[in-house]
Structure 1
Amino acid sequence: MPPILLVEDDADIRDVVAELLRGEGYDVHGAENGEQALAYLHEAEREPCLILLDLMMPVVDGWQVLARLRAQDRLLALPVVVMSASSPAAAPADVAAFVRKPIDLDLLLGLVRRYCGRTPAEPD
């Protein structure tokens, strides 16, 4: 199963979400800013099944990551779930879903299952 790329600058949120997903059997790669996320995507042997992306981050923010993803044919179709406490004037274009912080973990897990499938350990 392809990994999930979790891009979140808040270590506590990143750790909680990663722990939840790993506990469900998913492979999770964490990045603390957009620059790390883009470097991972450039070097990864396979694309993630889903990107969980915070918008407000240092170095390279989520808006810039989205723009760079959508400018590359190889990454154009990757589903992105935006996670943010901010309320943008408009929902980001070309995203699979927008999840407000504090994150509803059941909602997030449902989205992960939709885009990455169930893990072998999960019942049908």
Structure 2
Amino acid sequence: MGRTTKGEVMVIEDDFAIRETLRELLQEAGYPVTGAANGKEALAQLRVGRVPRLILLDLMMPVMDGLEFRAAQQLDPVLAPIPVIVISAGHESEKFGAMAADGYLAKPFKLDALLAAVDRYC
């Protein structure tokens, strides 16, 4: 039996247009969505707000990039269990293995691939 309520997704992406597009697509599919422009902003939100069921994480961001965010997340016992799907350009995929992420979507990706990945955790 499937879930009746979809879990919250946090999108950590520095490109405003991409972050807002992902937010709109996921909200239209029924997912509650929060967003952050970089890893530092995301950690601040996560430590005072609700814990999402899934994080979509860009790698290349200013202030705190995806690798730094993931390292900090894994050290926090409350945040460490949250699954992470990396969303980044294909040429950055070599960094994926070191992150111990739960999935990877290469930009550009198809909507059905995004929704299938999100639905797996939410």
TM (normalized to structure 1)?
0.86
What is the alpha-carbon root mean square deviation over aligned residues? 1.3
Q: CA deviation at 1:62?
A: 0.4
How much identity, in percent, do the aligned residues show? 43
- Cα distance per residue 1:49-81 (max 9 Å; x no partner): 000000000011000000001111111111000
- Cα distance per residue 1:91-120 (max 9 Å; x no partner): 24321101101122211110111100xxxx
* Structure 1 residue ranges without an equivalent (≥5): 117-124
Given residue 104 of structure 1, which amino acid in structure 2 is its aligned partner? K
TM (normalized to structure 2)?
0.88
2:102 — aligned with what?
Answer: 96
| Change over 3 Å in CA distance of 1:52–1:76 after alignment to 2 | same
* Structure 2 residue ranges without an equivalent (≥5): 1-5
1:121 — aligned with what?
Answer: none
Count of residue correspondences: 115
Q: What is the alpha-carbon distance in structure 2 between the residues aligned to residue 112 and residue 88 of structure 1?
A: 19
| Change over 3 Å in CA distance of 1:59–1:72 after alignment to 2 | same
Structure with the bigger percentage of helix: 2
- Cα distance per residue 1:18-57 (max 9 Å; x no partner): 110000111100111111100011111x310000000000
